[in-house]
A and B are shown apart, each in its own frame.
Chain A
Amino acid sequence: MMDFASFLIQLLNGVQYGLLLFMLAAGLTLIFGIMGVVNLAHGSFYMLGAYLAWSLSSLTGNFALAIALGAVLSVAFGLVLERLLFRHFYDRDHLDQVLLTFGLIYIFEETRSILWGDDVHGVAVPELLGASVPLTENMSYPVYRLFMSAVCVVLALGLYLLISKTRLGMKIRAGAFDREMAEALGVNIKLIHAVVFAIGVALATIAGMIASPISSVYPNMGSQVLIMCFVVVVIGGIGSVRGALISALLVGLVDTFGKVLLPHLAGMLVYMLMAAVLLWKPEGLFRQ
């Protein structure tokens, strides 16, 4: 088997990967749970984040500033996208939504190609976070990865507090539960939808931004992460943010340990997990 330090490293990696997946899955499951829209282009926001991190940090020379700017831009982008396009598809067939968002993937990929080219780029880990925490005599763990996990945890907590402790969150939950009733009670549903959508976009973009030093920046990076995100949402149950968290951590750990312990099966393990869950609970573990 593995020694304790290796185990700890893989554990931390698995949790970090899981938390990153959660950032994406939370947005996807919220948007679907509340507005009923499936968004295949969700992975494109992740890619957008990575490219923003690269170009903004090249531009400003400051990673933190790049993240902050990127976050603001992504919220604006999300609001515009919702207003112009997605809003009109809430009541449409899932098939229409699939096609729409598939078309968007093409548009986003090509726009990215035009704006930023097709080369692979790296984003430097900011100096402040460039150190490593020693675990044993010869093994250490990168601080940056801990930072990533920390950011995800903070955002997850923020999301939890927003949804369960604020009035906005209450309105969001009310709108999800019964749209007409919420409207009758004076909740501005259109605003709620816009806010939820923007949050989803922002979470995915931020995930791409903070992951960029580790994953590097390359074309099509959105589609790989999208699949994992879908698997997480299917296992966790559509509409359940809590389910997304538990499922994301599960997937992150299974994938990470699987690659180390069972390398021949590595890519398939997560799908086998999904298949097993589907046999037991076809609507996910925490279906609303």
Chain B
Amino acid sequence: MNDVLLSAQRLTKRFGGLAAVNEVSVDLWRGRIHAVIGPNGAGKSTLTHLLSGDLAPTTGAVVLGEREVTGWSPERISRAGLGRSYQKTNIFLPFTVWENVRLAAQSRAPHSARWLARADHFLSTNENASRAIELAGLADRKSRIAGTISHGEQRQLEIAMSLATAPQVLLLDEPLAGMGTAEAERMVQLLLRIKPDHAIMLVEHDMDAVFALADHLTVMVNGQVIASGTPAQVRADANVQSAYLGEGVQ
């Protein structure tokens, strides 16, 4: 049994009277991709925010490694070994691709407070950034301004930035959003490349990608988990078929 690197335990998030996330539990294992799927408004993004510290849960707990990180600020959770990418591209548009990733890598360096040395002279940071850019397949785009690259490349940059902090756990929120077939295929290959070294939670709508990538699948509807198991099990689950996949799906 692979180690559980992140465990969300009965997370609930209420906004006023509405429970956007209701008693949701999710485990992430090293080297495995756990996909979370569901219709719009199911609470998947909210769940991601709860795990990354952008939102504090109303009840429930988040355990990262050995530590309980419930209610921690996003920066604290990030430093504890969690990285995430965003559904809506959340990069530094005016900076170059290289600077985007270098800055991400710099967050882990003790020298962020140095104010007289040149930022791009720090070897370890540069190496980490290079590695993340290579993995994400953006090596030939390094000096382009992030705002000028294609949408698909921006999504790759999202991933590169979340990799540059060398996290153990990755939360990927719709990395394939808005991608054409070729780009999506590249992204799937990317995710397969990084899978062995991370515990990944993948929120996605692209069902082909989900079934190609996921080792474990959780289905959310209206804030609750209606099914959780291997892709085959979930596909066969009657609840899921009627609520989400639609009748007649194999």
Is A–B contact present in the complex under a CB 8 A cutoff?
A: no
Chain B contacts to A: CB under 8 angstroms: none
